[in-house]
A and B are shown apart, each in its own frame.
Chain A
Amino acid sequence: MARVEIESEVTGKVWKVEVGVGDQVAEGDILVILESMKMEIPVESPRAGTVAELRVAPDEPVQEDQVVAVITT
């Protein structure tokens, strides 16, 4: 079982969290939607797996390269 840390590509804030801990996700599924420069920026799962951790909540600020979620595959 591998743990995959998923980082934000941008600085912004969390708009919506689309999954919960324990959810099964497929590659390309949207985990979190960020808002940055007035655009919705989806953070997608790079692989299929299970959501192990969500490290952000709505309205929280996010920095570039910050880990927003962890999935296990």
Chain B
Amino acid sequence: MSWEEEVREIHRRRHLAKQQGGKEGIAKQHAQGRLTIRERIDALLDPGTFEEQGKATAIPDYDEDDEFLGFVPANYVVGFGKIEGRRVVAGGEDFTLKGGSPNAAGLRKSVYAEHLAVRYKTPLVRMLEGGGGSVKGGGRRGGTVGEPVFSAPRFRIIADAMARVPIVSIACGAVAGFPAGRLVASHFSVMARSTAQVMIGGPALVERALGVSMTKDELGGAAVHARSGVVDNLAEDEHDAFVQARRFLSYLPSSVDQRAPRTPGDDDPERMEEELLGAVPRNTRKGFDMRAIVRMVMDVDSFFEMGATYGRSQITALARLDGQPVGVLANDCRVYAGAMTAEAAQKYRRFVEMCDTFHLPIVNFVDQPGFMIGPEAERKGTIRYGMAAVCAAVQAKVPWASIQVHKGFGVATAAHYGADAYVLSWPSVESGALPVEGGVAVAFRREIAAADDPQAKRRELEEQLRAGRSPFPRAESFAVHELIDPRETRPALCSWIDWIQPLLDDLTGPTSFPIRP
């Protein structure tokens, strides 16, 4: 007697779990333009690399007379797989079953995703679609209610995982409630523009609570979250979102215990772009394209921007320098002169903390006119978020290089220098406590008012002060490491990348603070 019968049953159960919500459920998902979770996993991962965990998880289903109907697969699918040959954990709700709202076995597996990633030190990719808990199903006769009083907080692992492994969240369809919370508890989140919405509570809840009737898209569509900062990036569709997830992970180590993967440099470290010489206009009122400058300096095609539509005066991106992944910070002077708004400051702090968590060196292209000012900025509490950004920078442990490109004024400028920063300065830089224009009006108020021609006096004082703002004395005084020809920026930074290699070896392991959403 062998165990053949049981083995047959094992295979039957595995087969059953793959049926998802059945032909009908799958057809409905496809009709709405969305992939099933198993299709998502296949599209995300290198072909044929998925190793599912809990292949036979299911819950028995009974009818109203407690007659056994059969097994319903767990509606969360999770397992290992590979992205560019590196192991990751991938998981997501099966929306073809009960609208993605977790059934008992599905809930266990969904919570396991974080445990698995932390235990095996691999990145986690969540493909989210679903509405979280449901009032149905709870409180049936008999049995216990709620979690035991001594149980560990259910969300503890979600918080802990953020300090250990890279986490990517993808909103594939409508994401609400707990799944929305999981979406933002990540280092990179992206939503598929055509199929996804993200909401704390959906239209029915909103109508009941507030008497407002809105569609899912009006509440939490791509247009809303491009500006809310809830997701970092928008993707055209699910496939584009998977491409972005794979790209993001290519810059990161598999866990905080490893170094980010340095690829063989395929771009000349000595490359000098002629266009950099005139990239910053001499007229300080004229804007310029900071992204173009960053692209010219970084390895060709390595610039990957995150959060471009939120806190737009600040650019945050990943890139490579001589193959070394780096975090890039840069100001966009075309939006509020690059000033640090409340949103830009929050984006900045989160990005610096992410780089610190995964030990990515930071390269900062500085054009900072200061914290945003004005009534709107005061109402938004900009100074609090701004100071949080400053604190994140000055306590960061990662190697930090700053290129003074244009302006550097006020307290906000302190956010652009980590400890022991390597500081390069372009001839176009202008810095100080306050910009000359506003600063003169404040500091010389009486002198200006007493002059025969106050406007002329103000201009004269501004000119005098501006002449004193030349970057040469700062270089002579060793207040910056080097005053450079802008064309030398890439070679200088690539040398620095070489110098910091031993420092990066020392940084692996968890940081002293846990990064939070």
Residues of A within 8 A of B (CB): 9-11, 36-42
Q: Can you give 26 contacting A-B residue pairs, CB < 8 Å? A: A9-B312, A9-B334, A9-B335, A10-B336, A11-B374, A11-B376, A37-B339, A37-B369, A37-B372, A38-B285, A38-B337, A38-B369, A38-B437, A39-B285, A39-B286, A39-B287, A39-B333, A39-B334, A39-B337, A40-B285, A40-B286, A40-B287, A41-B287, A41-B334, A41-B335, A42-B287
Q: In the bound complex, do residue B335 and residue A10 qualify as a contact, i.e. CB atoms below 8 Å apart?
A: yes
Determine if B435 is an interface residue (Cβ-Cβ < 8 Å). yes
For window 198-214 of B, CB contacts with A under 8 Å fall at none
CB of B354 to closest CB in A, whole Å? 26
A11 cross-chain contacts in B, Cβ below 8 A = 374, 376
Distance of A31 Cα from B286 Cα, bound (Å) = 16
Distance of A11 Cα from B312 Cα, bound (Å) = 13
CB of A70 to closest CB in B, whole Å? 19
Contact with A along B393-426 (1 / 0, CB 8 A): 0000000000000000000000000000000000
Extra inter-chain contacts (13) besides given A37-B372, A39-B334, CB under 8 Å: A9-B312, A9-B334, A10-B335, A36-B336, A37-B336, A37-B337, A38-B337, A38-B369, A39-B285, A39-B337, A40-B287, A41-B334, A41-B335
Residues of B within 8 A of A (CB): 285-287, 312, 333-337, 339, 369, 372, 374, 376, 435, 437
Distance of A41 Cα from B374 Cα, bound (Å) = 18
| A9-B312, A11-B376 as given contacts; A38 in contact with B336, CB under 8 Å | no
A36 cross-chain contacts in B, Cβ below 8 A = 336-337
Query: Which of A9, A39, A40, A42 gathers the greatest number of chain B CB atoms within 10 Å?
Result: A39
Q: Which residue of B lies closest to A11 (CB)?
A: B376
Query: Which of B286, B335, B339, B369 gathers the greatest number of chain A CB atoms within 10 Å?
Result: B335
**CB-based closest 3 A-B pairs:** A37-B337, A39-B337, A37-B336
Distance of A67 Cα from B376 Cα, bound (Å) = 19
B435 cross-chain contacts in A, Cβ below 8 A = 38
Q: Which residue of B lies closest to A65 (CB)?
A: B227
Distance of A14 Cα from B287 Cα, bound (Å) = 16
A9 cross-chain contacts in B, Cβ below 8 A = 312, 334-335
